[in-house]
Amino acid sequence: MSNREAIEYEEFNNVDFSFKSYNDMDMTGIYSENVVFKACEFQGTYMNDCTFSKCNFGSSTFFHAGISDCNFDNCNLKGCDMEEAVLNVSYCKGSCFDDINISNGELGGTMLINCSMKNAVITNVDAEGVVFDNTDLSGTDFSNSNLKKASFLNAKLDNIIWKGADISEAKFDLGVIEKIEKLIE
């Protein structure tokens, strides 16, 4: 039996929870719209089957968090620390992940569609099969990450660091792969 605090199947709308700690919690089936979670702590927290619409998580900490089957629709996660976080099989549309750190984590099966992920640190990450379509990845560091079978269709790929990244079987727009392969060495 777990000693972790749990929040299950709750709905939150138009609330400001800024600067709160939700460390080591289990969150299941949460629906939040227009909620501010700015500079909150979610260290070691598990989020499953949650929906966040137009929420602001700016500068929050998700160190070693587990996030699965969640939707982030038009959310702000700019500057979040997601080091060692696992963000699996989640759907992110129109959300901002600029300046985040997801190093040493996992993004397996996640879809990031029409997002902004500028200057992100995504190093030593297992991101096999992740969809980054129509996402601005300018300035992102993908060093030593597993990007096998990932999709980068119509993504903005300016000034990316690809050193040591595995992009085998990844999908890119026509003519892009040749340029990237030269930067991986």
Is residue 40 within 8 A of residue 58, CB to CB? The reply is: no
**Phi, psi torsion values for 4, nearest 5 degrees:** -80, 145
Tell me, yes or no, whether 39 lies in a domain.
yes
Tell me, yes or no, whether 4 lies in a domain.
no
- pLDDT, tens only, 98-125: 999 999 999 999 999 999 999 999 999 9
Q: What is the DSSP letter of 14?
A: S
- pLDDT, tens only, 80-103: 999 999 999 999 999 999 999 999
Task: Output the CA torsion 33→62→113→176 (10° steps).
Answer: 160
Cα 97 to the chain's mean position, in Å? 7
Tell me, yes or no, whether 22 lies in a domain.
yes
Tell me, yes or no, whether 20 lies in a domain.
yes
- Average pLDDT (60-80) is 98
- 3 pLDDT more than 90: no
Answer whether 0.85 is exceeded by the pTM: yes
HSE-CB at 127 with a 13 A cutoff on CA atoms is 30
pLDDT at 1: 42
Domain count, the chain: 1
- pLDDT, tens only, 117-153: 999 999 999 999 999 999 999 999 999 999 999 999 9
